């Protein structure tokens, strides 16, 4: 059966409405299906009850029942929430065409409005391929069965970004200690560089978020940065790759701000497929990512310094992120996801 444009728009609208009750939806689904699977799964780790991890790689196994595998006529691809989704729909168009040719499928771009909406959409089979931000990736893995397999990298195969703390040059703030008593924008509870990493790393520098300074959630790295420039926030921890792209699009003047702290490097957005895709289709998707040539494309221009997708595993490459989240007492539950 071929999915029409009207059908696709209906699906997207339904996803947006469901996003208003992500926690409830996930909890209901987990309670219904999980009861059936809990008896037969010997190992699932942090995965929701609807998934199993027999091979111990920390991601959901592919279903063994052929009737549970997905091989849709239309593949839906989503990218992590951004300030202006319309811009990114155009930027991703060359890759969408490449992915369509590689898989023989119609491929549509889904502009999500929040991490919660994106995770719920994959869990409910409304998206099949997705880029999840660093911090939300473990939630996507454990609550939605996402399987990370690639990341944007350099020609040498290097990848990653840093946590940077920005303030205005005229703020009088020069060190993390100067943030005491200030109003600081974090992005969202699940964000790595925008919340989890600061809460794990800043106390080692003598500053405890939420105690030494007021934490205000902005909703995104873009909004945090723009808020600092406008003087709405005294400072903000943000992802280096995001603010670099903002500067390239002239969304703020780098001369008006300064960096007072920078961390070691973290992995960037993970590119994932749903755990229950037909294995042959999943392999075609992986190969489409790994064979894509960024050179001369809008995607290559947007992500400067990136030349290819690099293969990764969640077990190895997200270990540092899981350690940070564990240090913050994070558990991968629908309730914690709703807080994002």
Instruction: Express each pLDDT in 144-168 by its tens digit.
Output: 999 999 999 988 888 888 999 999 9
The tokens for 79 are 């990218």
Does residue 285 carry a pLDDT above 70? yes
Q: Name the pTM for this structure.
A: 0.74
Beta bridge partners of 202: none
Instruction: Express each pLDDT in 115-124 by its tens digit.
Output: 999 999 999 9
Instruction: Select from 80, 152, 88 the least CA-distant residue to 116.
Output: 80
The β-bridge relationship of strands 129-132 and 270-274 is antiparallel
Question: In which order are the strands placed within the sheet that holds 214-217?
Answer: 214-217, 183-186, 235-239, 161-168, 257-266
Distance from the Cα of residue 63 to its chain's centroid = 24
Instruction: Express each pLDDT in 309-321 by its tens digit.
Output: 999 999 999 999 9
Distance (Å, whole) CA 212 – CA 224: 19
The helix or strand, by DSSP H or E, that contains position 240, with its residue range, turns out to be helix 240-248
Domains of the chain: 5-157+268-338 (3.40.190.10), 161-266 (3.40.190.10)
Instruction: Express each pLDDT in 172-192 by its tens digit.
Output: 999 999 999 999 999 999 899
Instruction: Select from 168, 162, 164 the least CA-distant residue to 227.
Output: 168
């Amino acid at each position: 059966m071929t999915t029409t444009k009207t059908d696709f728009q209906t699906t997207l609208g339904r996803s947006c409405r469901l996003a208003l009750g992500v926690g409830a939806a996930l909890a209901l689904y987990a309670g219904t299906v999980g009861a059936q699977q809990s008896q037969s799964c010997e190992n699932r780790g942090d995965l929701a009850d609807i998934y199993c991890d027999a091979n111990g790689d920390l991601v959901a196994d592919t279903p063994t029942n052929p009737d549970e595998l997905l091989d849709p006529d239309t593949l839906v691809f989503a990218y992590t929430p951004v300030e202006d989704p319309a811009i990114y729909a155009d930027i991703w168009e060359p890759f969408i065409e490449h992915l369509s040719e590689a898989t023989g499928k119609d491929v549509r771009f889904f502009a999500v409005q929040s991490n919660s909406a994106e995770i719920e959409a994959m869990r409910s089979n409304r998206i099949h391929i997705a880029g999840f931000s660093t911090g939300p990736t473990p939630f996507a893995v454990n609550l939605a069965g996402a399987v990370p397999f690639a990341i944007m990298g350099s020609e040498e195969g290097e990848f990653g970004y840093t946590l940077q703390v920005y303030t205005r040059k005229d703020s009088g703030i020069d060190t993390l200690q100067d943030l005491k008593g200030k109003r600081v924008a974090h992005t969202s509870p699940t964000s790595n560089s925008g919340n989890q990493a600061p809460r794990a790393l800043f106390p080692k520098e003598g500053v405890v978020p939420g105690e030494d300074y007021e934490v205000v959630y902005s909703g995104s790295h873009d909004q945090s940065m723009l808020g600092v420039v406008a003087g709405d926030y005294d400072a903000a921890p943000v992802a280096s790759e995001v603010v670099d792209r903002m500067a390239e699009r002239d969304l703020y003047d780098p001369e008006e701000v300064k960096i007072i702290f920078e961390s070691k490097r973290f992995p960037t957005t993970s590119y994932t497929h749903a755990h229950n895709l037909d294995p042959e289709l999943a392999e075609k998707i992986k190969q489409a990512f790994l064979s894509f040539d960024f050179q001369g494309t809008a995607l290559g221009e947007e992500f400067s310094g990136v030349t290819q997708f690099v293969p990764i595993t969640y077990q190895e490459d997200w270990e540092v992120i899981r350690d940070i989240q564990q240090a913050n007492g994070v558990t991968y539950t629908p309730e914690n996801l709703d807080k994002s």
